[in-house]
Every structure is written in C-alpha cells, then in structure tokens.
Structure 1
Amino acid sequence: MILLVVPFLWVDGLTLWPFVLVRRPNPRPVLINHERIHLRQQLELGLVVFYLWYLFEYLYRLFQYGDHYTAYRNISFEREAFANDQNLKYLTSRRLFGFWRYVRLGEWQKRRS
C-alpha cells in the first residue's frame, strides 16, 4: 500500500491499486482499514474485473435506489468494507472473496422471483 495525501480529493479516502489516496495527513486507522479491505478485493478479482464490477454494481444500485449515496453504500465491496472497517484485525481472518457474502439482489428483485 502506498499512501498519498491529496488535499483536493472529494472523499476522505480512495483506493486505486496500489495507492490509497487520502484527503488529510494522518488518516484514522478505521479509514486505512476500510481502504485496505478494498485493496484485498482488488487483488482477489484483478483490477479490471474489480473496477468493472464496481461500476456496473453502482449503476444497478443507482437505478434500484435512485440516490447516489444509497447506491454507493449498497455496492457489495462497500458493504463489506463498512461492515468491517472498525475491526482492525478483519483482514487477518477474512476468507478469500469475503465480499461475496455482501452481494445481494435488491428488494424489488426478490419480490419478482
């Protein structure tokens, strides 16, 4: 992981393998852990697959919820990272492809089946 401080960043943190971009120097450990979870996800899927999946899932969630923030928070990769970023030892016990348990269809899809 290569940590870079980017003061004009529009979010607190962003992971672009192998870089973790942060808006402020000395980021909180929880933020670093959140971004490290994304690094692991990117390693598992490969960069192209990860970024394509992330984009398509974001667009699906945006259609599903009609709201940027709700769509973002419901991307499977973000759901895993937010659910576990407070556990600073999470990556030591995380199973391979751990994000998979956070993949789910939207409520409207479940009702249709």
Structure 2
Amino acid sequence: MILIVNKYLLGKSFKGVSLWPFVILKNSDLKDDFNFINHEKIHLRQQLELLILPFYIWYLAEYLLRLLYYKDRFLAYKNISFEREAYSQEMKENYLQERKFWAFLQFV
C-alpha cells in the first residue's frame, strides 16, 4: 500500500480512494484513522482478488445497476457489495488475516 495525500485528486464527497497499489487521501489526518485505512486495505485486497481491472468493471457495473434501482447516488454507492463488506468489517483489527477469498460475494 502506497499512501498519497492530495486534496485536488478527489471530488468533494470523497475522503479517499484505493487504486491498487495506491490509496489516495484527501488530507494527512486520515493516515491515523484506523477504520478508514482498514476500509481502504479491504478494497486493495478485493482488487487483487479480482485481478484489478475486473474489480473496477464490476464496481462500476454494480454501481450503475444499484443507481437504477435506488435512484440515489449515495444509496447506490453504499449498497455496492465491495463497499458493504468494507464498511461492515473496517473496525475489525484482524479482518484481513481471517478474511476468506472473495468474501465480498456474501454482500451481493
């Protein structure tokens, strides 16, 4: 994981984003936020499991499908399986050590 802090690379509503192998943060205070960093590490693992490019294709496709369903960008984002896994597990210190392969599938 390579951390990059740059407030200009992200839109207003983003605090950070994982683009394997980078995690781009809006501000340096986020480096010390365990839950936030763990959330992004979960995304990095998901990206590796899906061999990176298919992750982004799946993520976008699922977002668009959920946007059609919910008709709300925030609800669509929060209900993407990758996000549901990351948000529900971000506070668990050992989650990545115990996580099963393709664990995000249980959140589809």
Q: Same fold (TM over 0.5)?
A: yes
Q: Percent identity?
A: 50
Distance in 1, matches of 2:3 and 2:29, equals: 10
Shift of 1:26: 3.3
Distance in 1, matches of 2:94 and 2:37, equals: 12
| Superposed CA offset, 1:26-51 (max 9, x none) | 31111100000000000000111100
After superposition, where does 1:22-61 map in structure 2 within 5 Å?
22-27=25-30, 28-61=33-66
Structure 1 runs of 4+ aligned residues shifted over 4 Å read none
Distance in 2, matches of 1:61 and 1:17, equals: 24
The amino acid of 2:18's aligned partner reads T
User: Number of matched residues?
Assistant: 103
Distance in 2, matches of 1:83 and 1:62, equals: 21
Shift of 1:88: 2.0
1:13 to 16, 38, 42: 16
The amino acid of 1:23's aligned partner reads K
- For the pair shown, the structure with the greater C-alpha radius of gyration is 1
Shift of 1:13: 1.1
Unaligned runs of 5+ in 2: none
Q: TM-score, normalised by structure 2?
A: 0.92
Q: TM-score, normalised by structure 1?
A: 0.88
Unaligned runs of 5+ in 1: 104-113
Shift of 1:89: 1.4
